[in-house]
Structure 1
């Protein structure tokens, strides 16, 4: 009788343990849940704006096909940060541009975080036909970082940790990201030429004989102040058209396209490579100056700090030839990481260097 009672108690204990077991958000790859990617995105409240955009372009139902697919999914807050707060906002967008936008967030294959090599700029061809760049890094202060705890950014957009990454589905995997990815299927030159608010910068690049290079293969990275930023230094459309570059040190203006050196530097790359306090030699060096793009996400406040520090290589400190710290124009989500067919544009709110301090 005692043996029977103990057996019953043990069986009852097992039932309790089974009832308390939680579902794994990232189950083994060969036992992924039956729900397909299109249905998952459609029924996820935090992804409702992405679902609306995909529905409008006809992609959502396609993501129920066998695949497999990997989707970097901007949540609703990510869209809010670029001014999209309602599905109706997509109606104002050019249909082909919207189609490119949503297809650029997906590529064919199933890639969990552990599948991305521990290196910068891993390339994957998206459904839009253009490449995205995934960078994975470990803790700089540790000899080994578990794959699921690595810092991962795609085109400078942070992949959230924990339950927002590695969402396993029957036909792929979803990783939620901090901001929408921005790809422009034109050269940097075409991108700049199309925006009248950048016309002074275009004129300065032409006067300094840097303009023609911006249509070459690259890749190039260009930091672009708008007209308002130039006017703060008394550089107008008229004075820019008469600018004599011979009267200035070359660095005064060739720093913006990094002297046309072949570099593709996303806003978050430096932090992944060097942490928050790497040496000046590891920054973006041009002449005697260095550009330090800094990025930090505050998990307590769910906020991010994205700035650009200007450093003086000789003095090994902040630059005194202009602002020591700059910000991205119209915010990080809009101003940074504008990918083009031959490089990157970062829109900034000030000049990197005051030209008056670099006159010969």
Structure 2
């Protein structure tokens, strides 16, 4: 009888010890959770510092005094241009970033930061979805499928790395530095370009400048001064003397009632590498993708060609964003007829 009682007692105390042990483990787990609050050393600024390919973005954050923001509680989303993207934008070294104008770097860095956690890979499959930046600017995100791969772009810039997590947000690496837009309308952006003075005056003379001040969106393929001169409009006086209706007919063939970045064509074009763009006058322009010489089988640009153009028209400047559209600058006038 005593043996039976002893056995039962041992079983009872063994069970009690198991319960106590589990309770202690649970208490320890709860205590660990309580101390796992986000720390400054695993925040977005630390992610930037730890990534060797983002040394120029770190220099930009330093120059613009954005470090406190990137170590704040957040949440934030950072679209960080790679070092190669800064080089392409004219900043070959960290020193060139660190000695740039403070107000410029503040605008640029703030344009690459979003309030909130944005999972770009969960956005709808649509072109140019508008989101707002930390400093109030507009960005346009595209999520699309190309050759069975999901591709993300921001203002036509490729997203290279998605969802590098920090305790106060997310960081994505992009292949081009995004320039904050300075102009609310395409008309203003064209007027501000010294090399588009003839095209700008033709817009005013034709009456189309008022249209491009509207809500939009519009994409303008503006012929530079050399192109306008070659076409026959060599001076402002010649344009002023031209028939406004003739000018309007010419310029409507350079405007699309849509927001179109270069990479939008690359994403939406099939295996033929050729597509068309409907213009404001209801005529079409042929769009041909240009191969990327560094990546066989891929494309990195476009050319345009109207029925009257003997050769493809090249873009000398692309993806200039404004509040109501996009500006591309071409090296020839687009022609409907020869």
> Considering the TM-score relative to the shorter chain, is it more than 0.5?
yes
Cα distance in 2 for residues equivalent to 1:91 and 1:225: 35
- Say if 2:302 is the partner of 1:307: yes
- Given the two structures, how large is their TM-score scaled by the length of structure 1? 0.73
- Say if 2:223 is the partner of 1:225: yes
Higher strand residue share: 2
The question of whether the paired residues in 2 share the 8 Å contact of 1:271 and 1:295 is answered with no
- Say if 2:152 is the partner of 1:152: yes
Cα distance in 2 for residues equivalent to 1:323 and 1:51: 47
Taking structure 1 as reference, are residues 31 and 65 closer, same or farther at Cα in structure 2, changes over 3 Å only?
closer
The partner residue of 1:175 within 172, 177, 189 is: 172
Cα distance in 2 for residues equivalent to 1:351 and 1:276: 28
1:326 aligned partner = 313
Cα distance in 1 for residues equivalent to 2:38 and 2:125: 25
- Given the two structures, how large is their TM-score scaled by the length of structure 2? 0.77
Residue-by-residue CA offset, 1:158-181 (whole Å, 9 max, x unaligned): 112xxx332222222222111111
Cα distance in 2 for residues equivalent to 1:349 and 1:178: 25
Structure 1: gaps of 5 or more residues: 1-29, 311-318, 330-334
* 3-state SS, counterpart of residue 315 of structure 2: coil
Taking structure 1 as reference, are residues 89 and 228 closer, same or farther at Cα in structure 2, changes over 3 Å only?
farther
2:335 aligned partner = 353
Taking structure 1 as reference, are residues 303 and 57 closer, same or farther at Cα in structure 2, changes over 3 Å only?
farther
The question of whether the paired residues in 2 share the 8 Å contact of 1:185 and 1:340 is answered with yes
1:18 aligned partner = none
* 3-state SS, counterpart of residue 336 of structure 1: strand
Residue-by-residue CA offset, 1:117-137 (whole Å, 9 max, x unaligned): 222222221112022111111
- Say if 2:203 is the partner of 1:212: no
Taking structure 1 as reference, are residues 256 and 31 closer, same or farther at Cα in structure 2, changes over 3 Å only?
farther
The question of whether the paired residues in 2 share the 8 Å contact of 1:155 and 1:181 is answered with yes
- Say if 2:299 is the partner of 1:292: no
The question of whether the paired residues in 2 share the 8 Å contact of 1:267 and 1:293 is answered with no
Structure 2: gaps of 5 or more residues: 1-35
* 3-state SS, counterpart of residue 344 of structure 1: strand
Residue-by-residue CA offset, 1:205-233 (whole Å, 9 max, x unaligned): 11211112222222221112221222232
- Say if 2:338 is the partner of 1:338: no
The partner residue of 2:260 within 235, 251, 265 is: 265
1:235 aligned partner = 233
Number of residue equivalences = 299
> RMSD of the TM alignment (CA)?
3.0
The question of whether the paired residues in 2 share the 8 Å contact of 1:268 and 1:293 is answered with no
- Say if 2:124 is the partner of 1:117: yes
Alpha-carbon distance, 1:303 to partner:
8.0
The structure whose Rg is larger is 2
